[in-house]
A and B are shown apart, each in its own frame.
Chain A
């Protein structure tokens, strides 16, 4: 029997309320575990919005199992991205500004992605390896004498900020302002106050600030091209045509948000995990160079920095025995897939030696697979190597504050302490 969107009953599990996302990852996992075991593809009431409620939004399918998430990711003709990639209903002008080519489908997605791909190849990553290590060193230099820091503000935020902005060509004086903008866009659910008008005002102000700086940089590169990503964007041609200004701003913003707000979360969750599992940390320290590769994979699984992405059914089709109707929203729950016991033994245990580690934190394999995955891995390895060798007792104090959003798995702040490095 086929039901329509209007009459299809909602599952009893709550994935939609603000409260669900304000709880902790381990609380949410109880709901996901139940769904994975008993009802893997379920229909739910629309996400409770912070900004707007869309009267045309009738709900979404929840995909919680690893195998199903991988399947949806690979069926990009059935489950498209061009209708939007975030869970919430968001005002369209905001969406256009932030989604970039991640919310495109082939053939245009392929064309546009190729414009940027050469900056993220393995060859290119090797070329910038020394710079990634130097950035990690510079950040640890700054905190080494302090003994206590807000790990998010003074480490986790700065690592990806310097690396992605080095690649993009954003000069030092604009970096903190843009990283802050990026955070506001990516984590608007964490903004104080409950008044949607106020939240939209703060967001709009942030976006305008971003556009002023970004368009200045874009104009500079038109006059004085260099070898950075902003120059690649202004010089790029698709089908013989230059990108529009709106496209350039949108791709600038995507690189900025995807570059800053992902590895930031993985770095912070990584320190928390190393604090919570001292025996794992000790194991890593016995051979930090030899064991870092598998450790980074497990940290990325553990963090799951992006918790949800949305697809939309392009046509009527079947998924996991459920009849999906063209136009239905389909939400992929990455943290749930990363805890799937069909794939991971004891997913609730941090296991830095886990091999193979088939986490889907960079995507389930498909055309939208994280462009920056190799950059992220190199940054995490360089940062934890520098931190753990120079500040071997650095730990979270346990007073960390998590965000309430349903997109990035944010850590808003994380006090950390350590024995200061001897003055050299």
Chain B
């Protein structure tokens, strides 16, 4: 499982962080999304899929 983040589409809504704060984080410094763990453990798949589905700009995807 590998998470791809399209920084051009991302509007930093923070929806992904609300579902998986251990994987996604909006930076306090510049408001940009940081994917803390782009290849999370399979056990986190549920949360990751919710986070991706919640993105208002479809900036996240799974490979």
A interface residues (Cβ-Cβ under 8 A, vs B): 74, 110, 113-118, 120-124, 363, 365-369, 371, 373-374
Chain A residue at minimum C-beta to C-beta distance from B11: A367
Chain B residue at minimum C-beta to C-beta distance from A112: B31
Q: Could you say which of B11, B14, B57, B58 contacts A121, with CB atoms under 8 Å apart?
A: B14
* Interface contact B26-A118, CB-CB below 8 Å: yes
Q: Given the interface contacts A114-B30, A114-B32, A118-B29, does A369 sit within 8 Å of B11 by beta carbon? A: yes
A302 → chain B closest CB, angstroms? 22
Q: Does B28 contact A (CB under 8 A)?
A: yes
User: Given the complex of chains A and B, what is the CA–CA distance between A290 and B59 in angstroms?
Assistant: 32
Residues of chain A within 8 A of B25, CB atoms compared: 123
Main SS at interface, chain B: loop
Q: Does B27 contact A (CB under 8 A)?
A: yes
Q: Could you say which of A117, A363, A368 contacts B14, with CB atoms under 8 Å apart?
A: A117
A103 → chain B closest CB, angstroms? 15
User: Given the complex of chains A and B, what is the CA–CA distance between A114 and B12 in angstroms?
Assistant: 7
B18 → chain A closest CB, angstroms? 4
* Interface contact A118-B57, CB-CB below 8 Å: no
User: Given the complex of chains A and B, what is the CA–CA distance between A368 and B12 in angstroms?
Assistant: 10
Q: Does B61 contact A (CB under 8 A)?
A: no
* Interface contact A122-B31, CB-CB below 8 Å: no
Residues of chain A within 8 A of B13, CB atoms compared: 117, 369, 371, 373
3 tightest A-B CB contacts, nearest first = A114-B31, A117-B31, A365-B56
Chain B residue at minimum C-beta to C-beta distance from A115: B31
* Interface contact B21-A113, CB-CB below 8 Å: no
Q: Could you say which of B12, B26, B57 contacts A366, with CB atoms under 8 Å apart?
A: B57
Q: Could you say which of B11, B17, B28, B32 contacts A122, with CB atoms under 8 Å apart?
A: B17
* Interface contact A365-B17, CB-CB below 8 Å: no
Residues of chain B within 8 A of A118, CB atoms compared: 26-31
> In chain B between 18 and 53, which residues have their CB closer than 8 angstroms to a CB of chain A?
18, 21, 25-32
* Interface contact B21-A122, CB-CB below 8 Å: yes
* Interface contact A123-B11, CB-CB below 8 Å: no
6 more A-B contacts (CB under 8 A) besides A117-B13, A118-B30?
Answer: A74-B57, A122-B21, A123-B28, A368-B11, A373-B13, A374-B18
Residues of chain B within 8 A of A114, CB atoms compared: 12, 30-32
* Interface contact B56-A121, CB-CB below 8 Å: no
* Interface contact B56-A366, CB-CB below 8 Å: yes
Residues of chain B within 8 A of A365, CB atoms compared: 56-57
* Interface contact B12-A122, CB-CB below 8 Å: no
Residues of chain A within 8 A of B27, CB atoms compared: 118
Residues of chain B within 8 A of A117, CB atoms compared: 12-14, 26, 31
User: Given the complex of chains A and B, what is the CA–CA distance between A131 and B12 in angstroms?
Assistant: 24
Q: Could you say which of A110, A113, A122, A368 contacts B18, with CB atoms under 8 Å apart?
A: A122
* Interface contact B11-A113, CB-CB below 8 Å: yes
Q: Could you say which of A113, A363, A373 contacts B12, with CB atoms under 8 Å apart?
A: A113
B6 → chain A closest CB, angstroms? 12
